[in-house]
A = this chain, B = another copy of it.
């Protein structure tokens, strides 16, 4: 049975030593003193380890079941959900006027990682609710906000996102679900939606479905899609629950993982709905949820990787097998622990350096979101908009690979469900797919985000790297060699890739799109390289200042050196693939395959 300990100390290091959050001029940030965030993270870590984690395997093994139209979650989920609600965790970064705690998004993100790592399937019930509430917050009328938000912020009611239909996922313009306008201003929604996470369950009094549908007579394709609020139970004027709406569960899907989350086929049979935002502008409103959800999915990639890594590390320390070739490390025992073997080290260092780098990247991204939303900073908004597909695509691909590596450390036991490592892999797999498959993220990045405002935001990113390197060129010769030089080289690869797209993509967009997936990974590595350089510098400063816990900072530097030496050179391969162009990719006719 796996275990999980929330990496609160590492999150504190990133928040305070690296990002220096309480010194930042963003509303709410000055209150983020180390003692305060430390207390929040400690408490969140406890819930994660003690309440959510023990249900992770239970959820996987038991799954959800549909009986007479009612979905039942695995044993223990309901009680745990009550505890999470009581602690006020779902509304941690929601406005106080709706019952939230109004903390910055960065804190919600740090907590979210712990919860997701402890139990991804469980945490999705609250995560989807958060996304739906954000969309209502951004696009709802005052009445809609008053009706739904207090109950959603507390998770008395949960939320869902309904986009996909059997014949369309990415290409939502093909959607068939209809919304017929009624005389009272409401709509009647009819159609089938699939892959609806947390679509129905027994843990909330009501479920607020946000549903994309087409109003007949509207524009063709994606420009005729509107967003609707469709509650499971209609809400009376006094706020009490009224009659059951015309929405029902067709079935629960059998999935590779996240069995504890009810992924439903939802049937809408003339269900009553209310327009959220403007007619035919549903995609815009949905993207409020989607961008948040994409960052949240990137977080899941990191979370599963870290949880799996923690267990692989323990196993590598405990399991005795073989001898250190340079001399026995456990001479009195029958064999040495796995961790003495260089290739096991390599794997553990891959995992460790990814998880810590990804955490920094994610929390940095969260500060950009706060800067954009709380301080109205348009540049931060542009930068995080550029980064969102990188956070989603890179962190989930790499996070998945790391769960596979963690499973591998267990040898044969990694393949046996009893040991729990297969679940990390199976659960992590979905994050590469949902909220826009990673190929779509790459397309969004290269086809849309990169060129926005004449490439303003990617240029800002390059400036950021350049400034960092310039400002820290005199830290030490070692720092320059271990961190600055590799970061500069990687950043140069990223610039060369961008240049290739500019020059070749103008004439033929396929030249850019054929390299989009590599570009997403190239970009991700440079981001983690920048994060490791910033963490390395913070660790070096702490050591120079004689801070306590020197061992922590030394380990941080060593882990960073590993990333820079062993992981970051991947940028060269991605660049080579990009620069090889589209010819070999597009050479075959479809029939020639």
Residues of A near any B CB (own CB < 8 A): 164, 167-171, 173-174, 194-195, 253-257, 313, 317, 320-322, 325-326, 334-335, 337, 339-349, 352, 400, 404, 407-408, 411-412, 414-418, 422, 425-426, 429-430, 432-434, 437-439, 442-443, 447, 508-510, 513-514, 516-517, 551, 554-555, 558-559, 561-562, 565-566, 569-570, 572-573, 576-577, 580, 582, 584-588, 590, 592-593
Contact = CB atoms under 8 A, between A and B. Distances in A.
A408 B425 contact: no
Given A169-B412, A411-B170, A586 B342 contact: yes
Given A171-B321, A254-B417, A577-B566, A558 B346 contact: no
Contacts of A412: 164, 169, 194-195, 433-434, 437
Protomer copies: 2
Given A168-B321, A576-B572, A587-B558, A343 B514 contact: yes
Closest A-B pairs by Cβ, 9 of them: A342-B513, A256-B422, A562-B584, A558-B587, A342-B514, A565-B580, A569-B576, A171-B321, A254-B417
Contact of A566 (B255, B346, B580): B580
A255 B417 contact: yes
A353 to B, nearest CB: 9
Nearest to A513: B342
A557 to B, nearest CB: 9
Contacts of A508: 326
Contacts of A167: 320
Which among A426, A554, A584 has the highest number of chain B CB atoms within 10 Å? Answer: A584
Contact of A558 (B320, B411, B555, B584): B584
A344 B442 CA distance: 11
A307 to B, nearest CB: 15
Contacts of A342: 510, 513-514, 516, 582, 585-586
A590 B170 contact: no
A528 to B, nearest CB: 15
A481 to B, nearest CB: 12
Nearest to A567: B577
Nearest to A417: B254
B171 A590 contact: no
Contacts of A343: 439, 442-443, 513-514, 516-517
B321 A169 contact: yes
A404 B256 CA distance: 12
Nearest to A429: B415
A341 B555 CA distance: 44
B344 A439 contact: yes
24 contacts: A170-B322, A171-B320, A194-B412, A195-B412, A254-B418, A255-B417, A255-B422, A313-B593, A325-B447, A341-B439, A341-B513, A342-B510, A342-B582, A343-B443, A343-B516, A345-B585, A408-B433, A408-B439, A425-B429, A555-B592, A561-B584, A562-B584, A569-B580, A572-B573
Contacts of A447: 325
Contact of A514 (B253, B346, B443): B346
Given A164-B412, A433-B411, A592-B555, A586 B417 contact: no
Nearest to A167: B320
Contacts of A256: 415-417, 422, 425-426
A450 B414 CA distance: 29
A393 to B, nearest CB: 11
A416 B252 CA distance: 10
Which among A255, A344, A434 has the highest number of chain B CB atoms within 10 Å? Answer: A255
B317 A590 contact: yes
Contacts of A590: 317, 337, 339-340
A254 B416 contact: yes
Given A339-B590, A558-B588, A593-B352, A411 B346 contact: no
Contacts of A321: 168-171, 174
Given A174-B321, A256-B426, A339-B590, 8 more contacts: A326-B509, A326-B510, A339-B593, A343-B513, A408-B439, A412-B434, A415-B429, A558-B592
